[in-house]
Amino acid sequence: MTDTLVNDLAALEWDNRYTRDLPADPVDALDPEEPILPRQVTGASFTRTRPTPVAAPRLVLASGELAGRLGLDVDALATEPNVSALAGNTVLPGMDPFAMNYGGHQFGNWAGQLGDGRAIALGEIVDGDGDHHMLQLKGAGPTPYSRRADGRAVLRSSIREFLCSEAMFHLGVPTTRALSLVRTGDDVVRDMFYDGNAAPEPGAIVCRVAPSFVRLGTFELPTSRGDTDLLRTVTEAAIRHSYPHLVADDGAVTETAIAAFVTEVVQRTARLMADWMRVGFVHGVMNTDNLSILGVTIDYGPYGFLDDVDPDWTPNTTDFGQRRYRYANQPRVAGWNLARFASALVPLMDGTDELQAALDGYFPAYSDAFLATQTAKLGVGVRPEDTDDGRHDPLVTDLWELLPKVETDFTRTFRLLGSADLIDTDGVDRTWDALATDVFYRPEQLDDEITSAWRSWLERLAERVRAEGREPAERQAAGDAVNPIYLLRNWLSQEAIDAATAGDEEPLRRLFDVVRDPFTERAGLEHYAGRRPDWARNAPGCSTLSCSS
């Protein structure tokens, strides 16, 4: 955090290296008299464009931690000049608004040009540590990449994006951040499930923040068009901006640097997937344009956190048939996406050996990261065994065989297992009683075979804990530090969304406060630590979402 905080966005140090270093679309969309129409943009990485003003912007939420990191006084964000800028009504001095041009594979199929259809970057600021942060408005109006859409966002999806961006940060999961949530005063017409039931809803805009919003699909588009010059420019800029340590002393970006760039993206993505699995997060739409070169979570659309442990669960109704992006398949999809990314860089290399070597490191890195996070959640050390398809710990592997056999709450299970006192002989009995009482949604599903399997597994966990000799209090503290008690479950978000839509924003503010401290149990917050209620089992916005959610 900067020692001296400023009161307005215009006073920040703006250094728009993306628009300075990369080729612009010669046809910009800054003239307010010119219509913004969808079109194919070639030979360019971005289009300068203007946000579309809204009727009555009002700040609803702001991240104090992020504002301080950027050098802003969070209380000053509510003042008119800042709200106007965060709503897209005013472009302040230093800003250089633009929309990025990229392509991607969607649900495994090449989709061609995609681009920022409802996101407009305001520019980049430099914080007190010299780090760059790009500020981007989501829902700020159409761009040349909007295809047939209006470029707007509804309140419910904006609340979900704001809350989850900050919740993931406080869970320790690499992510883009959210600076502000602004209600626009305008209605937006949406058909949530694409079933012919379009209706007006309140609109909103989120200001997203990240060092870079460059995606894997950024490199796919120029390669698909045979534009090697643009591919080289994009790649060199990405390395100079995000991985400057790979640049040679003479300033050159060599083939070795490109291969190292792929290796770092692969390794970061592997760790990100382990983090998603650690907290039970399901992205819902893991297209190549929705994975970042920084290995951070990007683009919160139809996401969700596991309530019950269902490896095949996806919140995205568009994916219900294929379930490509289901919870258990996310690591595999990430590997597939990374292969598309590496393939896009082949025109810049003399051969493919270095790229293949980088890709070959993905699954071993993921296996190691997954093991480390899972054993930490259980409060034990790592004891991997090498097998034909990777490295596994039988204690972890066997637990994941057990978890889906009955409807079992993911978050509450690990919170209990990671901190249970298993030192004395009664520890297994107490832990089993707690599981049966607090974790299983339908304990009537427990038969003798499943009960016996659970108790046998608990005995093995207890033996491991005793062998390692960690004191119960120490183990509980360590377990509680990695197993959240409060998670941004979809049903909690939906409660806050329903209240805010009806005019009561206090539940939203309270939920925001809760998810910013997910590991510390606090009196009076029992509701936020509860299992999914029956009303949310199949409710829209809870178990079912779409890309318009």
Mind giving me the DSSP string for 437-467? HHTBS-GGG--HHHHHHHHHHHHHHHHHHHH
Distance CA 352, CA 347 (A): 10
pLDDT > 70: percent of the chain: 98
Phi and psi based region of residue 139 (left: phi greater than 0; alpha: psi -120 to 50; beta: remaining):
left
Is a pLDDT exceeding 50 seen at residue 549? no
Is a pLDDT exceeding 90 seen at residue 54? yes
pLDDT in tens, 254-304: 999 999 999 999 999 999 999 999 999 999 999 999 999 999 999 999 999
CA atoms within 13 A on the CB side of 320: 10
Residues 6+ apart with CB under 8 A from 152: 118, 139, 141, 184, 186, 188, 203
pLDDT in tens, 381-407: 988 776 666 678 999 999 999 999 999
**pLDDT given for residue 384 in this prediction:** 72
Phi and psi (nearest 5°) for 137? -95, 125
**pLDDT given for residue 1 in this prediction:** 55
Annotation says 289 is catalytic: yes
**pLDDT given for residue 383 in this prediction:** 81
Better-scored residue on pLDDT, 387 or 252: 252
Q: Mean pLDDT of all residues in the chain?
A: 95
The amino acid present at 339, given as its one-letter code, is A
**pLDDT given for residue 2 in this prediction:** 57
Q: Which residues pair with 121 in a beta bridge?
A: 98, 136
Is a pLDDT exceeding 50 seen at residue 492? yes
Residues in the chain: 549
pLDDT > 90: percent of the chain: 89
**pLDDT given for residue 187 in this prediction:** 95
Section 192-202 average pLDDT: 83
pLDDT in tens, 215-235: 999 999 999 999 999 999 999
**pLDDT given for residue 292 in this prediction:** 98
Is a pLDDT exceeding 50 seen at residue 102? yes
Is a pLDDT exceeding 70 seen at residue 55? yes
Q: Which residues pair with 152 in a beta bridge?
A: 140
**pLDDT given for residue 33 in this prediction:** 78
Both structure tokens of 440:
């299983």
Better-scored residue on pLDDT, 195 or 418: 418
Percent helix, strand and coil across the chain, each to the nearest 5: 45, 15, 40
Phi and psi (nearest 5°) for 242? -105, -20
pLDDT in tens, 16-28: 999 999 999 999 8
Residues 6+ apart with CB under 8 A from 479: 377, 378, 379, 415, 417, 418, 419
Point out the catalytic residue in the list 289, 299, 307, 319. Answer: 289
Better-scored residue on pLDDT, 548 or 102: 102
Exposed/middle/buried for 66, CB within 10 Å: 0-12, 13-18, 19+? Answer: buried
- Angle of the 427-438 helix axis to the 410-417 helix axis, nearest 10: 160
Distance CA 140, CA 119 (A): 6
pLDDT in tens, 418-466: 999 998 878 999 999 999 999 999 999 999 999 999 999 999 999 999 9
Please say whether the beta carbons of 317 and 545 come within 8 A: yes
